[in-house]
A and B are shown apart, each in its own frame.
Chain A
Amino acid sequence: MAQQEPQAIERDLTMSRAMVEAIGHEMRENDEVFYMGEDVADYGGIFDSTEGLLEEFGRDRVMDVPISETAYLGAAVGAAQRGMRPIAELMFVDFFGVAMDQIYNVMAKTAYMSGGSVAVPMVLTAAVGGTYNDAAQHSQTLYGTFAHLPGMKVVVPSTAYDAKGLMHNAIRDDDPVVYLFHKRLMGIGWMPAPDGPKTAVPEEPYVIPFGSADVKREGADVTVVTLGLHVHRAFEAAETLAEDGIDVEVIDLRSLVPLDTETILESIGKTGRLVVVDEDYLSFGVTGEIVATVAEERLAELEAVERVAVPDVPIPYARPMEDEVVPNVDDIEAAVRSVCS
């Protein structure tokens, strides 16, 4: 009797469903995996990051916690130090300051300070991003903050497919992983997403290794390096620019730590022109890091560079001001035209 081949089932998932599918799978496979955070059980996560997990796994493994980030993120670190595999959610990344000591002095440094004898195999998830007028304390992106401090891997998906593969990898990783998801990509009802993040997602588990940037659009004239929401904004700009004969390559970093410099440098070898787009602050951040890396390695081939990021001001509330400071499609288009002129 012929063995039945597994059928690739065509189905599109939102980014949140894809994340939850990976978490559910890992929780089924490994009793040491559990999820804790504020409003993650009954509510299913304010950004649908845990929708449906309580029903399957119960309160012992999907834990609502009191509002006490220092205590519960630190507790996740402690459980991980004992070999469990917690996933702990910080509701908005902006709240990191409440618990930063546990994050960067304990979670991130334990492996090093213990001479490698104690691992912290946990995932810290957090929602990032603005574009919906929630002002300075609920709209930050802060990729650079976490990537700057040593000891944490930092992961940022832009599509459902990537979200699932990166989550499987994050939970299985023996180092602490910071997994940052952009609210507007999650596919939640009250915050319309752009078209891009809802993609076909295989039902079976699969792993996307960290440090593997994805060339999401091939092009010959200019390299746009970005991540998260701005992958989709870069696509939109690339479509318009294509009408004028400018062929844009879009690289989605997918992880900041580790950073896939090879894919970036290869692309610069082809295009010679670089635009880096980031929803985080301009100075001392992702854009500077990418430009510095390219300058060190490929200075001779570099014809022009532009950076597009939040211009070092907190995120303002009123729409005209938020639109001004958060990079939009027009900003990306203008930067590409500038490096191509």
Chain B
Amino acid sequence: MFEDMVTARYYEERLQEEYLEGKQPAFDISAGPIPGELHLAAGQEAAAVGVCQHLRDDDAVTAPHRPHHVAIAKGVDLNRMTAEIFGRKPGLSGGKGGHMHLYDPDVNFACSGIIAEGCPPAVGAGLAAKKRNEDGVAAAYLGEGAISQGAFLESLNLAAVQKLPVVFVVEDNDWAISMPKERVSDVEDGSQRAGGFDMPGVRVDYDDATAVYDAAEEAIGRARAGNGPTLLEVQVHRRMGHFMGDPETYRPDEDKEAAQGRDSIERLAEELRAAGVDDGDLDEIREPARDRVDEAIAWAKEQPEPDPEDAYEDVFVNPPSGATTDEPTHELAEPGGGD
């Protein structure tokens, strides 16, 4: 868990550096080595690692637009994820998706750029597991700003009435872009929404990875045993703006300072020290984790960009007038379970 948290945090620090290259002094979103928007998740690692520790490769995870920490915790291929973020050809999606649209079918990870959009597909993954009499589970990640979305509330209901093996993980970082939590919901504890669907709702204190681990163990065990979904809300913090370049003028200084004063990784390190792990042992985890990140970034940057014509692959396109095509639009993997 500590290793994944350190990896995720360092990964984000390195992405931040790379992203800002060429975008300063005047921020221009079109410049620099990383295209598009970038939403960093530093401060949210506890929610990622505490849950994903209990998941297998065949368990599904759907993450929102701030996906890197969850992807790392789920075991997404770091090199190919990084190549995707840099818009390179060997990226997970061949450069088509970018940082908000990372798909790694090897570990059943997906994310998307629209709020609460991953909830219904997670329910679908749970449904597939149940229909096939498998013990797989699905975890749907969303932010606390997304708990008002119809897609989330409808997913809770469907998962509950069908007793599907789904864990909804709300990462409460206190802010939905510029909206503080108290103006999003009249209940401070988002896990209370579970009550309306007669499912367990659990809330974990600020950045407590161990408590997340324990709560997730129970929720995932419950799901795997066929006893239905759980809503797990984890209080995390947002160390940076909503997206890189966000001036955060709406956010009080004391709130920014409070966020900087919290650190889930340090909290876990303290616990480990109390349990007898010394700083040397922690460094032995940190250093290779950092090397791995540096190597992934260096590798990704060496990779070629996609060809312009690659834009026409992986989707069925109306053939131009008079043209015919026998080529499949993309190769599908063999369906699981055989014919």
Query: In this assembly, does B259 line the interface, its C-beta being within 8 Å of a C-beta of chain A?
Result: no
* Minimum C-beta distance from B323 to chain A (A): 13
Interface size on B, residues (CB 8 A): 52
Contact of A136 with B96 in the complex, beta carbons under 8 Å = yes
Contact of A317 with B95 in the complex, beta carbons under 8 Å = yes
Q: How far is the CA of A98 from the CA of B151 in the complex (A)?
A: 8
Contact of B96 with A67 in the complex, beta carbons under 8 Å = no
Contact of A312 with B318 in the complex, beta carbons under 8 Å = yes
Q: Please encode chain B, from 184 to 220, with 1 for each CB lying within 8 Å of some chain A CB and 0 for all others.
A: 1100000000000000000000000000000000000
Q: How far is the CA of A136 from the CA of B111 in the complex (A)?
A: 13
Task: In the complex, identify which listed stretch (B8-16, B127-135, B171-179) lies at the interface while the others stay far away.
Answer: B171-179
Give the contacts of B34-74 with A (CB-CB under 8 A). 35-37
Contact of A70 with B150 in the complex, beta carbons under 8 Å = yes
Contact of A133 with B184 in the complex, beta carbons under 8 Å = no
Query: In this assembly, does A138 line the interface, its C-beta being within 8 Å of a C-beta of chain B?
Result: yes
Q: How far is the CA of A132 from the CA of B27 in the complex (A)?
A: 13
Contact of A137 with B112 in the complex, beta carbons under 8 Å = yes
* Chain B residues in 8 Å Cβ range of A317: 35-36, 84, 87, 93, 95-98, 101
Give the contacts of B142-193 with A (CB-CB under 8 A). 145-146, 148-151, 176-179, 183-185
Contact of A95 with B95 in the complex, beta carbons under 8 Å = no
Given contacts A98-B151, A133-B87, A316-B96, contact A66 B145 (CB under 8 A): yes
Contact of A324 with B308 in the complex, beta carbons under 8 Å = yes
* Chain A residues in 8 Å Cβ range of B98: 133-135, 317-318
Task: In the complex, identify which listed stretch (B228-236, B265-273, B289-297, B309-317) lies at the interface while the others stay far away.
Answer: B309-317
Contact of A67 with B310 in the complex, beta carbons under 8 Å = no
Task: In the complex, identify which listed stretch (A38-46, A208-216, A222-230, A255-263) lies at the interface while the others stay far away.
Answer: A38-46
* Chain A residues in 8 Å Cβ range of B317: 311-313
Q: How far is the CA of A43 from the CA of B98 in the complex (A)?
A: 26
* Chain B residues in 8 Å Cβ range of A192: 28, 30
Query: In this assembly, does A283 line the interface, its C-beta being within 8 Å of a C-beta of chain B?
Result: yes
Q: How far is the CA of A41 from the CA of B179 in the complex (A)?
A: 9
Contact of A38 with B177 in the complex, beta carbons under 8 Å = yes
Query: In this assembly, does B107 line the interface, its C-beta being within 8 Å of a C-beta of chain A?
Result: no
Query: In this assembly, does B333 line the interface, its C-beta being within 8 Å of a C-beta of chain A?
Result: no
Give the contacts of A129-167 with B (CB-CB under 8 A). 131-138
Q: How far is the CA of A70 from the CA of B149 in the complex (A)?
A: 8
Closest to A64 in B: B179
* Minimum C-beta distance from B129 to chain A (A): 27
Give the contacts of A181-207 with B (CB-CB under 8 A). 189-192
* Chain B residues in 8 Å Cβ range of A137: 100-101, 112-114
Query: In this assembly, does B3 line the interface, its C-beta being within 8 Å of a C-beta of chain A?
Result: no
Query: In this assembly, does A118 line the interface, its C-beta being within 8 Å of a C-beta of chain B?
Result: no
Contact of B177 with A43 in the complex, beta carbons under 8 Å = yes
Closest to B143 in A: A67
Contact of B37 with A134 in the complex, beta carbons under 8 Å = yes
Q: Please encode chain A, from 108 to 132, with 1 for each CB lying within 8 Å of some chain B CB and 0 for all others.
A: 0000000000000000000000011
Q: Which of A38, A135, A319, A325 has the most CB of B within 10 A?
A: A135
Q: Which residues of B contact A (CB under 8 A)?
A: 26-30, 35-37, 84, 87-89, 91, 93, 95-98, 100-101, 112-116, 145-146, 148-151, 176-179, 183-185, 245, 249-250, 305-312, 315, 317-318
**Selected A-B contacts with CB under 8 Å, 27 pairs:** A42-B250, A43-B178, A43-B249, A66-B176, A66-B183, A67-B145, A67-B176, A94-B113, A132-B29, A133-B35, A133-B87, A134-B36, A138-B113, A189-B26, A191-B28, A312-B315, A313-B315, A316-B96, A316-B310, A317-B96, A318-B96, A319-B35, A319-B87, A319-B305, A320-B95, A320-B307, A321-B306
Closest 4 CB pairs between A and B? A133-B35, A318-B95, A317-B98, A318-B87
